[in-house]
Chain A
Amino acid sequence: EAQVTQNPRYLITVTGKKLTVTCSQNMNHEYMSWYRQDPGLGLRQIYYSMNVEVTDKGDVPEGYKVSRKEKRNFPLILESPSPNQTSLYFCASNRQGPRDTQYFGPGTRLTVL
C-alpha cells in the first residue's frame, strides 16, 4: 500500500530534550516536506527536500533541522524543543514538484512541557 508513515504519533516531552520525528514514504517520491498545523494558522511549511542531500527552508524553519540521507526517509529533528513547538506535525511527499499532489502522513501530535 502506498503510504507515508510517521513515528511517533503522539509525544509528550520536556523543554530542551532533543527529539526526532521520523517520516518514511514507499512511493519513490522525489519531494518531501514537513508542516506544522496550529489552530487559526492552517499548515505552515517548515522544510522541504527535492532529493537526497538537498533540503531548503520553508516559512517557519527556526528551531528545526532535517536531513535526507535516503530517498524514502526525511526525519524532523528538534534539538532543543520549546513549548512554542507544541503542535501537530505532518510529513508529506510528492513525485515531481509544485504541480503534483502531496501525500500526507497521519500526523504527530507533539507536546513540549
Chain B
Amino acid sequence: AQSVTQLGSHVSVSEGALVLLRCNYSSSVPPYLFWYVQYPNQGLQLLLKYTSAATLVKGINGFEAEFKKSETSFHLTKPSAHMSDAAEYFCAVSEGSGGYQKVTFGIGTKLQVIP
C-alpha cells in the first residue's frame, strides 16, 4: 500500500529565507509524485510533478523538488520565500494502470511567511 508522510504540519520561515517542505513516500511500484498548493478558500493547484523523467523537477513560482529513490523522498524547496507563498502544501503519490488510479495525499504543511 502506498503512503505519504509530510514532516511538519506547520512551517514558518522569514521572508527571503529558504523554504524546505519534506515529503517521504512508500510505494510498491515506481511512483508518480506531485506537489499541490492550496490557497485559502480555494481548490488545489499543481506546483510540480515527477513522472520518471528528470529527478530534479522545476515548478511554478520558483519551487523545485528532487526525487531521491534511495531516500524515498520528494522534498519541496524554494531559495527565497515570498509573502505570497503562504499557503498549504500537499505532497501526493499516484499509482495505477489499466484504468486503476489510486492517489494518496499527505496531511499537508501550512507554510507561514514572516515579514
Binding site for B on A (CB under 8 A): 4, 31, 33, 35, 40-45, 48, 50-51, 54, 56, 58-59, 90, 92, 97-99, 101-102, 104-107
Contact A97 B106 (CB under 8 A): no
Contact B49 A97 (CB under 8 A): no
Contact B103 A45 (CB under 8 A): yes
B51 within 8 A of A: yes
Binding site for A on B (CB under 8 A): 4, 6, 9, 32, 34, 36, 41-46, 49, 51, 90, 92, 94-97, 99-108
Residues from chain A with a CB closer than 8 A to the CB of B108 are 42
Contact B90 A102 (CB under 8 A): no
Which of A4, A42, A56 counts the most B-chain CB atoms under 10 A from its CB? A42
A23 shortest CB reach to chain B, Å: 11
Residues from chain B with a CB closer than 8 A to the CB of A58 are 102
Contact A41 B107 (CB under 8 A): yes
A42–B9 CA distance with the chains assembled, in angstroms = 10
A104–B46 CA distance with the chains assembled, in angstroms = 9
